Amino acid sequence: MRHPIILTLCAAAIGLSACEQSGEAEVERALQDINVVDETNLNDVMLTVGDPDEAVRYFANANANDPGRIDLQRGLAKSLVRAKRASDAVAAWQVVVANEESTNSDRVDLADAFIRANAWDDAAATLNTIPPTHETFKRYRLEAMVADSRQQWDKADSFYETAVGLTTRPATVYNNWGFSKLTRGEYGEAERMFTDALRFNSNMFTAKNNLVLARGAQRNYTIPVVPMTQVERAQLMHTMALAAIKQNDVTIGKSLLNDAITTHPRYFEEAVRALEALENNAVN
């Protein structure tokens, strides 16, 4: 009579053990899911707000511990770009592109890294491997920059125009396009491009400075009416002064330098040095 009871107890014990093992497996899977979420969040933080050099170390270690994962390879490549290590970024993006899971966007990022490393021919060759159906803002912006480097102005204009149409924040494109026009000596067009850049981003000081250069090249020495701080106004007067002096409008240049010095809320060393150099040349 005891045998059924013993068998029942044994079955119950086996069932309990199986339940415990099943429960442990579920817990392990759940913890793995949590770890993946935590890691993803940490990766995002490292790619955006983390210190660039610290991000490089983090992704380098992650790649060493888990080689072959394309998300970690991308993280390292992007971190190297943020850390301004262009040559290392090129090598890292080449690893990403060699991965069988790579995309056309990865090839665009490799071309970007080549441009940062001043390897324009390699950038062009990389962009040529991307099918024309991959139409993105970044791709066309890089195509425009490559065309600029080769003085292929019509192609550059076409690519810049396409890039502008593919983004809601085209300020940087207009600024690059304007600088291209400035390089060609098309100063009126350059001025228009820089004005458009500031229309989309009134805080972009580079566009303000370029706008002053474009106006100065046309012998228009008035500071443009754009939002600016007192420090920026002094800096723009300094830029305008140098543009005037370059065109032998020395009296106007000296006046602008004096205005820059008095406008700046602190000691404006660059403007003071430039003014002293002018006065010393006049004495000599």
User: pLDDT for 138-182, tens place per residue?
Assistant: 999 999 999 999 999 999 999 999 999 999 999 999 999 999 999
Check whether 284 has a pLDDT greater than 90: no
| Tokens encoding 195 | 């004005």
Q: Global pTM?
A: 0.80
Sequence-distant (6+) residues with CB within 8 A of 3 are none
* Integer Cα distance of 268 and 261 in angstroms: 6
Average pLDDT of span 199-227: 96
Sequence-distant (6+) residues with CB within 8 A of 59 are 43, 46, 72, 75, 76, 79
Sequence-distant (6+) residues with CB within 8 A of 139 are 108, 127, 130
Kindly report the number of other CB atoms within 10 A of residue 71's CB atom: 14
* Integer Cα distance of 60 and 242 in angstroms: 46
- pLDDT at residue 49, as a whole number: 64
Check whether 5 has a pLDDT greater than 60: no
- pLDDT at residue 42, as a whole number: 73
Which residue type occupies 92?
A: A
For 246-266, what is each residue's pLDDT tens digit? 999 999 999 999 999 999 999
Burial class from Cβ neighbours inside 10 Å (0-12, 13-18, 19+) for residue 232 reads middle
Cα angle 190, 214, 114 (rounded to 5 degrees) comes to 60
- pLDDT at residue 280, as a whole number: 84
* Integer Cα distance of 112 and 130 in angstroms: 13
* Integer Cα distance of 160 and 190 in angstroms: 13
From residue 6, alpha-carbon distances to 1, 3, 15, 148, 241 in Å are 9, 5, 14, 87, 102
Burial class from Cβ neighbours inside 10 Å (0-12, 13-18, 19+) for residue 92 reads buried
Contact in structure between 156 and 144 (CB atoms under 8 Å): yes
For 12-43, what is each residue's pLDDT tens digit? 444 444 445 555 655 455 444 434 435 566 77
Average pLDDT of span 44-73: 88
Average pLDDT of span 111-120: 97
User: Looking only at Cα atoms, what is the longest distance across the chain?
Assistant: 125
Of residues 183 and 22, the one with the higher pLDDT is 183
Would you call 231 helix, strand, or coil by DSSP?
A: helix
| Tokens encoding 180 | 């291209």
Check whether 121 has a pLDDT greater than 80: yes
- pLDDT at residue 140, as a whole number: 97
Which residue type occupies 67?
A: P
Pick from 173, 240, 183, 251: nearest CA to 213: 240
* Integer Cα distance of 174 and 13 in angstroms: 75
